[in-house]
Amino acid sequence: MEEKKLKLDTNDLSYVRIKGGNRLEGVVSPDGAKNSALIQLASLVLVDGNFVTLKNLPLISDVYDSIEMIKETGLKTKLVDNEVTIMGEPSSFEFSAYYGSKIRASLAFLGSVLSKFGQVKLPLPGGDKIGERPIDIHVDVLEAFDIEVAIRNGFVFAKARTFPLKGSSVFLRFPSVLATVNGILLGVLAEGKTVLNNVAKEPEIVDLTNLLTKMGARINGVGTDRITIVGVTELNSTTHEVMPDRLEAAALMMSIVMTEGKGTVENTIPEHNIPLIETLRRCGIDVVTDGDKVHIDAVNFNKGFQVETRPFPGLATDVQPLITPLGLKCPEESIITDNVFQERFSHVDELRKMGAQIDRFNNTIHIKPNNKLSGASVEGGDIRTVVTLINAALSIDDDSKVYGVEHLNRGHSKFIEKLKLLNADIEIIN
């Protein structure tokens, strides 16, 4: 009965059973980056007669949904292990409501399909429930390319007034990641020059433009506030390896830290996680980076921390829930402000069920030090919250259940197996 009450948002009754208290030890690697793979898949509508192979694809449900969306355009896909090849010619600019409405990254099909066809019908996106997620900046970007946009019956209908598109000058009022992706995808085949101002600098944007450049796109300024693109008439075949997932790396680092463990996250790019690494060091945790490895020895928790999320290279909003339970282990109060998603605090109520003392003031939380947690049944409604709760449960010498397995599967492949390799007592109960 109690568990039925807990399950408000989902029909999925599976959960993660955790017996915490084991110190995690060993070496672990993240898979390919979800948010990179998803925008790269969407960009491949531009393949048109050629073929592109993406390697190191994470086998997660968001990726499977994106591949289904590619099929809806008429392109052919071949998935073998962690490698997908996209080939053929797209023939449709209309998507069903089914796949696109499950994921946020479906928005990136706006740019690729408009670039190819000059029109699109796309369902409004889904994805994590982490507060307000309007699409007004996407609409601004489309309108800057002289594209008319209407939203009706749960779909975005967009049509270019002039096609082929003409290059444009665009200013984003906030450096939105997916709106930057749309600006890039509209610019690569547009006639003449496109200038995108105040763009996102996230590593996933750099990885996307590395792929597009290999395909023959002419893009400059990536990783700065201004991207310039000179349109080309067609793109070529290529092969590209998706970068490692910086957020899965962060999640695994926090699994080791929360259990006062000693381990290495390898096959990662430590520069993608500098704000997290510096926060851990500030608390007294021993973190050493060495090439593609991050070595962690979490014995000392000497201080609290105060951090704010910002667009890259600032602390990622996705890391904000992950580091919240760290504050509970510190000997001083810790303070976290989320400036990117101001309502992204659903983990706080769940952590309170485990005994956490956390006060929230708008988009800032104050975490009381030296909190002793106890096992509980809790539920995460988005990817990062589920992982946060798993990590908190791993640190408690008690049994816990974490619901929200469907969200875990949207964002991570074999995450529980990775934790088991590190000596966690954990399993999924279906």
Taking the C-alpha atoms of residue 67 and residue 83, their distance in angstroms, rounded to an integer, is: 12
Task: Provide the minimum distance between the beta carbon of 42 and ligand EPU in the complex, in angstroms, as a whole number.
Answer: 10
Query: Of the candidates 43, 73, 176, 388, which one interacts with ligand EPU according to CB under 6 A?
Result: 176
Question: What is the distance between the alpha carbons of residues 99 and 106, in angstroms, rounded to a whole number?
Answer: 8
Q: Cβ of residue 243: shortest distance to ligand EPU, in angstroms?
A: 13
**Using CB under 6 A, which of the segments 81-89, 111-119, 134-142, 393-401 binds ligand EPU?**
134-142
| Identity of residue 203 | P
Residues 33-72 that bind ligand EPU (CB under 6 A): 35, 38
Minimum Å gap between C-beta 370 and ligand EPU is: 30
Bond into 164 cis (ω within 30): yes
State which residue, 60 or 367, has the beta carbon closest to ligand EPU: 60
107's tokens:
């928005």
Query: Which of 60, 165, 170, 178 touches ligand EPU by CB under 6 A?
Result: 178
Least separation in angstroms between residue 102's CB and ligand EPU is: 12
Q: How far apart are CA 187 and CA 168, in angstroms?
A: 8
List Cβ neighbours of 134 (8 Å cut-off, separation of 6 or more): none
What three-state secondary structure class fits 129?
coil
Contact predicate 85/47, CB 8 Å:
no
Give me the least distance between CB of 81 and ligand EPU, in Å please.
23
- Smallest gap from Cβ 136 to ligand EPU, in A, equals 5
Distances (CA, A) of 53 to 84, 211, 252, 335: 6, 10, 28, 44
Per-residue x/- mask for ligand EPU, residues 226 to 255, rule CB under 6 A? ------------------------------
DSSP for 49-61, please give it: TSEEEEES----H
Looking at the DSSP bridge assignments, the partners of residue 279 are none
Kindly tell me which residue out of 5, 8, 134, 154 binds ligand EPU, with binding defined by CB under 6 A: 134
Indicate the residue type of 147: I
Query: Mask of contacts with ligand EPU, 319-348, x by CB under 6 A?
Result: ---------------------xx-------
In which region does residue 254 sit, left (phi positive, over 0), alpha (psi from -120 to 50) or beta (all else)? alpha
Residue recorded with tokens 């640190």: 395
Q: Which of 3, 9, 89, 136 binds ligand EPU (CB under 6 A)?
A: 136
Cβ of residue 413: shortest distance to ligand EPU, in angstroms?
14
Residues 354 to 383: which contact ligand EPU by CB under 6 A?
383
Q: Which residues bind ligand EPU (CB under 6 A)?
A: 35, 38, 104-105, 128, 130, 132-138, 174, 176-179, 316-318, 340-341, 383-384
